[in-house]
Amino acid sequence: MGNRAFVLHQVLRVLLISAAFVIGFGLEGYAQTPAAGRLTGTDGKMIFPFFYGSKVGDACNPYVDYNCEASEAAIKAARDEAAKSGKCDPYLDFKCLDTYLGEDVFTRFFRYYQLEWGKAGPPSDPNAPPSARDAAAWPKTPVSVPPFPYTDFPYGGTPNIGTTRPNSVDSPFMAAIANTSLGKWMQDAHIQVYGWVNGGFNLSTNQQQPGGNVPIGYAYTPNTVQLDQAVVYIERLPDTVQKDHVDWGFRLSMLYGENYRYTNSYGLLSDQFNGRNQINGFDFPMVYGDIYIPWVAEGLNIRIGRYISVPDIEAQLAPNNFTYTHSLTYTLDNYTNTGVLFSLAATKNLMVQVGVTDGTETPLWNNGRTIANPMPNPLYPGNTMLKDPGNQPSLTFCLRWTSDSGNDSFYPCVDGINNGAWGYNNLQWKGFTYYHKFNEYWNLAFEAYWISENGVPNLQNANAQAIFAGGGTPFSPQYVNFNPPNQAFCPDPNALSCTANAYGTVAYINYSPDRLNNFSFRPEIYDDPNGWRTGTGVPTRFYAATLGWQHWFSPQFEIRPEISFWHSEAGPGFNSAVSGTFNGAFNGGTKADMFMLAMDAIIHF
């Protein structure tokens, strides 16, 4: 079976796995329609530890349960009880929020965590403007945060058009400083500062440290505890709900931790990763500005700067993901682009995105920059060569269709399209994401892509390897001490280089019993016929399955335990440093299978 035919085969296979899993749980039977104006039961729900939702037969919890609204009588009784006891509850009377939080910053900071504990959202301000355009004029927001990592089914490169308001991020830090002169100025200027700290651990059947879990993403060293990422955002969100004035926004993000290894841009603080191979490091994965023009069709956003690559179910930043670990489909994908991206809401259902960037994981100042070539050769014949041949004008083009209900989204894209020359991460990305919400409890996310790169040096060719070792390529060890881009196992051993391809398919089947809990099943097939993206050095194919639970104690504190199994197929030929033969992708090439138990925690501020 040819590689491209196999892609279709594996797409269908993952879809069938997803469908069988969903149907097997009889998802439609879990949809409960509440009676109007009264508390409803939760018959049919799965009960697990730590759930704040109601138990079978109890009255439902309107702060946590789906399809649960407190009656007017219940609300009045609760307010009367609070007034009688002299206690302030901002969920019943928003006007007393400042009284509840107190005066000094530290007290307000910790009381805000206390306030939200056991609830799925902040107190609602009755005077706040609508968070989205009218449902008759705009697709509905399908899900919520928590328990999901997004509200609209995700699309990249722009704030969500029609559903973004300034000052809309729920932040304990912003609540803590809200009564100070600085906080009031920031509120008036629509600027927020917030972030999170994310750490985790894994228990793996691999032993080699560091790197024994490679190519698994974001937990590459087995049996360890690590700081994954500490992140701070400084941002201003444009108001995309309104249609009467031009608005603007920006985001400056700062990241420290192990996860910098995945967002590394070659030439931007990259000596941490490519020069010294530090375990932890800094990065600025997003530095951009937005201009929102509401009068063009249903709204046009122009983003300029470094931003997260489109489209993808998963993302670099921990809160934007269902699970702690990442799929191979995401781990071996594009991460960031730098350039300009136009996102036009042509209609309420159709979005068009067109952009020009400088490639992938490469800063603007690498463009046209050359380095000396100590050994001119057929691959790089000149006395100089480009520092990163992948840094060149590149095209992004996407279409996104969303149903009126908001329950379906189809998002095909091409990203980073240029001549495909072997670069630091010059991936030619073609693929799509698809999302479907069955009901409040069940939804599906699916992604498939084909990525490629041209002129990748051949691991089977002795001359190509001599050129690489002698400094005759831009990524030879004389220039990149650690973590250079991978080479390829080319079909023709006589060729110095070839076009390398890889194909990824992944799905997330999600069951959420209430708004503080979600369970995700993630089946995946990843085909690497040139051993290029996974770094195995021989043709291989991966099969993986992950089961994860996302439990939110509050909107500010989340844990994500998971268990996963990974299997690689490959032939002989890889020169493992341990055994001299290839036995698999994991533990330095000595294992074809691995199990992993992992968990992380995210604390927002």
Token pair in block for residue 429: 């990305």
| Gap between the Cα atoms of 329 and 313, Å rounded | 10
| Gap between the Cα atoms of 488 and 526, Å rounded | 16
* Contact (CB, 8 A) for 223 and 204: yes
Give the pLDDT of residue 4. 52
Per-residue model confidence as pLDDT tens digits over 260-280? 999 999 999 999 999 999 999
Q: What DSSP string describes 440-472?
A: SSEEEEEEEEEEEEEEEEBTT-HHHHHHHHTT-
The DSSP element (H or E) to which 6 belongs, if any, is helix 3-24
The whole-model pTM stands at 0.90
- CB-CB neighbours of 272 under 10 Å: 18
Nearest to residue 353, comparing CAs of 158, 143, 498?
158
Environment class of 352 (CB within 10 Å of its CB; exposed 0-12, middle 13-18, buried 19+): middle
Nearest to residue 597, comparing CAs of 524, 557, 546, 554?
546
* Amino acid letter, 490: C
| Gap between the Cα atoms of 102 and 108, Å rounded | 6
Regions of the chain short of the pLDDT cut 50: 6-7, 11, 16-51, 54-57, 571-583
Give the pLDDT of residue 343. 98
> Is residue 10 left, alpha or beta, with left meaning phi > 0 and alpha meaning psi from -120 to 50?
alpha
> What CATH number should be reported for the domain holding residue 402?
2.40.160.10
Per-residue model confidence as pLDDT tens digits over 275-327? 999 999 999 999 999 999 999 999 999 999 999 999 999 999 999 999 999 99
| Gap between the Cα atoms of 251 and 229, Å rounded | 17
> How many angstroms separate the Cα of 597 from the Cα of each of 227, 330, 508, 603?
17, 19, 18, 21
The residues pairing with 291 across neighbouring beta strands, listed in sequence order, are: 248, 302
Please tell me the total count of domains within the chain: 1
Nearest to residue 324, comparing CAs of 204, 496, 421, 419?
204
| Gap between the Cα atoms of 602 and 517, Å rounded | 14
Give the pLDDT of residue 114. 97
Tell whether the torsion through CA atoms of 302, 308, 312 and 318 is positive or negative: negative
Nearest to residue 415, comparing CAs of 355, 363, 362, 367?
355
* Domain of 455, in residue numbers: 3-604
Nearest to residue 280, comparing CAs of 230, 330, 326?
230
